[in-house]
Amino acid sequence: MISTNVPQIGKEEIEAVVKVLKKGVLTHGLGAGPMVKKFETNFAKFVKTEHAIAVNSGTAALHAALLVAGTKPGDEVILPSFTFVATAEMVVMAGAKPVFVDIDPKTYNISPNEIEKAITKKTKAIIPVDLYGLPADMQPIREIADKHGLSIIEDAAQAHGATYKGKPAGALADVACWSFYKSKNMTTGEGGMITTNNDEMAGNMRFIRSHGEKKKYKSLMLGHNYRMPEIEAAIGCVQLQKLPKFLAKRRENAKRLAEKLGKTEHLQLPKEPKGYKHSWYLYTVRLKDTKQKERDMIIEKLRQKGIETGVYYVCPIHLMPYYSKFGKYRLLETEKASKQVFSLPIHPGVTAEQIDFIGETVLHLLR
Ligand SMILES: Cc1ncc(COP(=O)(O)O)c(C=O)c1O
């Protein structure tokens, strides 16, 4: 089976983990062990921010970011429904109400126009998501946020290596949240990072990461255990070094697949608009003018041929049972996309021959 995403782990990661284990420093009381510090310094350099705070998941990163943005009960936070559930889940965890808005059907990212319409006196923050690795349209979102005095927390969980108007993803946000889950462009197994240029927010996120402590057993604020273990940070340092190579291979695979799939009119292929650099975390195509049943049939036939696909996301968050209590929504573009998209494997382990096989199989099934 050619899988959608597979962690790319080599002997360098194994050696780095063994080194940490032999040294015996597995974690640090405040989450700032030597490997974590090194990983933070290197990641901050990579995304060109002042601060990077390592945590133990992308979900934790979102929670800490929402808390330092001052999110509290009674507040509203605007976000897309077409994203992984953690984006909305952490809004609820912070005590606020998620307000879902529709996407731009060409990029699948949150529509700036729809954001503006959803703003109320209670709005506290906006969470644009860089879906599939394509940055959200951050310039108009920044302008809206500034006009209304809102914070932007960018969910960059899928965007390692992506750029927007020449700057790394996250550059126009107040805080950006990253994930190193096993499927991501770079992984630590589980793990996350928060990046920001705001000194005060960075300081507070470091406290929140470890029970609100600046010094052990003297909590200044409410926090959590969001510390990243040293083993994970060691893996992260190696993966970050390898990331440019991973990204280049993803890009090469995406280009080769696009050349094949460009031969059919039935598919909407992923775009890389001018001024954007895609991270190619997911190569998501849309089966135009079809019902969900037909899309699902293609997926099943691809599985039978040994090609795994994923549907991100098959159930938009506003239609999930738990989230229906936050309001009745009709998000037409989101709902339509969820029935028509599927993602094909282009990760760095996929060979050129496999890309050709995937392309030809898809073309054959659409004939
Ligand atoms: C868009 C998005 N947001 C948030 C997350 C949560 O990250 P994690 O799984 O590291 O908690 C993920 C990853 O799974 C994601 O893809």
Which domain-ending residue is among 203, 218, 238? 238
Ligand 1 atom nearest to CA at 180: 10
- In this structure, the answer to whether residues 206 and 260 fall within a common structural domain is no
What is the mean predicted confidence (pLDDT) over 45-60?
98
5, part of any domain: no
Location of structure tokens 């738990």: 322
Residue 289's pLDDT is what?
Answer: 87
1, part of any domain: no
Residue 155's pLDDT is what?
Answer: 99
- In this structure, the answer to whether residues 292 and 221 fall within a common structural domain is no
- In this structure, the answer to whether residues 120 and 79 fall within a common structural domain is yes
pLDDT band at 5 (very low <50, low <70, confident <90, very high): very high
The Cα 103–Cα 337 span in angstroms is 9
Give the binding-site residues of ligand 1, using a 6 Å CB cut-off: 57-59, 83-84, 86-87, 129, 155, 157-158, 179, 181, 192
Residue 332's pLDDT is what?
Answer: 98
Residue of minimum CA distance from atom 7 in ligand 1: 58
Ligand 1 atom nearest to CA at 83: 1
**Rounded distance from Cα 353 to ligand 1 centre (Å):** 30
4, part of any domain: no
6, part of any domain: no
**Rounded distance from Cα 50 to ligand 1 centre (Å):** 23
Ligand 1 atom nearest to CA at 59: 11
What single DSSP character describes residue 206? Answer: H
Q: Which of 55, 59, 154, 194 to mutate to test the pocket of ligand 1 (most atoms within 8 A of CB)?
A: 59
Mean pLDDT of the chain: 98
Element (H, E) at 231: helix 230-261
What is the mean predicted confidence (pLDDT) over 288-310?
96
**Rounded distance from Cα 83 to ligand 1 centre (Å):** 9
Q: What is the CATH number of the domain that holds 285?
A: 3.90.1150.10
The Cα 341–Cα 268 span in angstroms is 9
- In this structure, the answer to whether residues 213 and 316 fall within a common structural domain is no
pLDDT band at 272 (very low <50, low <70, confident <90, very high): very high
For residue range 188-220, what is the model confidence (pLDDT) as tens digits? 999 999 999 999 999 999 999 999 999 889 999
The Cα 354–Cα 155 span in angstroms is 31
- In this structure, the answer to whether residues 205 and 307 fall within a common structural domain is no
**Rounded distance from Cα 217 to ligand 1 centre (Å):** 30
**Rounded distance from Cα 180 to ligand 1 centre (Å):** 8
- In this structure, the answer to whether residues 197 and 307 fall within a common structural domain is no
**Full residue range of the structural domain in which residue 50 is found:** 11-238
Nearest Cα neighbor of 233 from 7, 34, 11, 5 is 34
> Does pLDDT of 181 surpass 90?
yes
The Cα 121–Cα 123 span in angstroms is 6
24, part of any domain: yes
310, part of any domain: yes
Check: CB of residue 312 under 8 Å from CB of residue 343.
yes
- In this structure, the answer to whether residues 228 and 251 fall within a common structural domain is no
The Cα 226–Cα 337 span in angstroms is 34
Domain count within the chain: 2
What is the mean predicted confidence (pLDDT) over 243-264?
98
pLDDT band at 134 (very low <50, low <70, confident <90, very high): very high
- In this structure, the answer to whether residues 95 and 214 fall within a common structural domain is yes
What single DSSP character describes residue 64? Answer: H
Residue 35's pLDDT is what?
Answer: 98
The Cα 115–Cα 211 span in angstroms is 34
Which domain-ending residue is among 238, 263, 287? 238
Q: Which of 84, 175, 184, 284 to mutate to test the pocket of ligand 1 (most atoms within 8 A of CB)?
A: 84
**Rounded distance from Cα 266 to ligand 1 centre (Å):** 30
**Rounded distance from Cα 157 to ligand 1 centre (Å):** 5
311, part of any domain: yes
- In this structure, the answer to whether residues 234 and 261 fall within a common structural domain is no
- Measured CA to CA in angstroms, residue 306 lies from 170, 300, 302, 313, 358 at distances of 36, 10, 6, 21, 9
Which domain-ending residue is among 211, 238, 265? 238
Burial class of 134 by CB neighbour count within 10 A (0 to 12, 13 to 18, 19+): buried
- Contact partners, residue 321, CB within 8 Å, separation at least 6: none
pLDDT band at 258 (very low <50, low <70, confident <90, very high): very high
